[in-house]
């Protein structure tokens, strides 16, 4: 814990100590889109005490010292990190998104009259799904190949995108939009708590929306706090800026 201080950013803590990710997830402290905040500020905003949170972080780091179960991507080749993002997170999203659309339709058919809020949930999710599917395509076909090119040592500007900061800014803006949609889903579902009269599908729908939230938090963290800053640094080094 001597490397983690109140002045550390949340994103850097999770990047260097990925075993702390479940702690932030459990406490509801934003480590993806809000990863640039100082740790003490994020803890204070969460309503928890510094001693309580730092103790949980310390316990997670100590446990990982003897059992390295989560890889750190802070120093891995960017091509490996991007491959992991595509295989692990894009792959999971391509399973989750159509399944959640189908589950939402079933819940509306069965419970929409008694629980009209599920229509708003499904509408918000549909907007999020459309954005995520477009987002993944842009990453896989435009941004990630650009970063791979930079890491290989090719330092010329992209003919359409210019410097890497331009597409990264676009991706970060879309991450913020996804984060807002997740916040709306959490609020509309009472933190993914199905009503007492909800059927198994209703409960499963909300459970899987919670899974989607966790997946996106981890996914966005890897990009905002690790991949993107490192890609900017690689471009600066390659181009001698």
- The DSSP line for 10-26 is HHHHHHH-GGGHHHHHH
Cα 47 off chain centre by: 22
Closest CA to 126 of 146, 100, 147, 151: 100
Closest CA to 151 of 139, 164, 162: 164
Predicted pLDDT of residue 160: 62
Mean pLDDT of all residues belonging to the chain: 90
Dihedral of CA 181/187/188/192: which sign? positive
Predicted pLDDT of residue 64: 72
SS3 (DSSP) at 158: strand
Name the least confident of 39-48, 59-68, 82-91, 192-201: 59-68
Whether 127 and 181 have beta carbons less than 8 Å apart is answered as yes
Span 212-231, pLDDT tens digits: 999 999 999 999 999 999 99
């Amino acid at each position: 814990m001597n490397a983690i201080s109140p002045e550390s950013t949340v994103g850097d803590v999770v990047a260097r100590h990925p075993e702390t990710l479940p702690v932030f997830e459990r406490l509801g402290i934003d480590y993806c889109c809000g990863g640039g905040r100082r740790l003490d500020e994020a803890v204070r905003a969460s309503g928890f005490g510094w001693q309580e949170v730092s103790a949980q972080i310390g316990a997670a780091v100590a446990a990982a010292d003897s059992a390295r179960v989560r890889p750190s991507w802070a120093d891995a080749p960017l091509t490996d990190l991007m491959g992991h993002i595509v295989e692990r997170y894009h792959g999971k999203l391509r399973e989750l998104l159509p399944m959640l659309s189908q589950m939402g339709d079933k819940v509306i058919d069965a419970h929409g009259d008694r629980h009209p809020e599920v229509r708003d949930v499904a509408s918000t999710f549909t907007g999020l799904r459309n954005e995520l599917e477009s987002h993944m395509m842009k990453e896989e076909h435009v941004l990630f190949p650009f970063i791979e090119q930079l890491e290989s040592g090719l330092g010329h500007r992209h003919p359409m995108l210019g410097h890497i900061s331009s597409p990264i800014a676009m991706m970060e803006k879309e991450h913020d939009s996804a984060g807002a949609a997740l916040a709306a889903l959490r609020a509309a579902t009472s933190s993914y708590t199905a009503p007492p009269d909800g059927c198994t599908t209703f409960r499963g729908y909300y459970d899987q929306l919670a899974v989607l939230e966790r997946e996106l938090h981890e996914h966005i963290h890897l990009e905002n706090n690790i991949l993107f800053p490192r890609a900017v640094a690689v471009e600066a080094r390659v181009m001698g800026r």
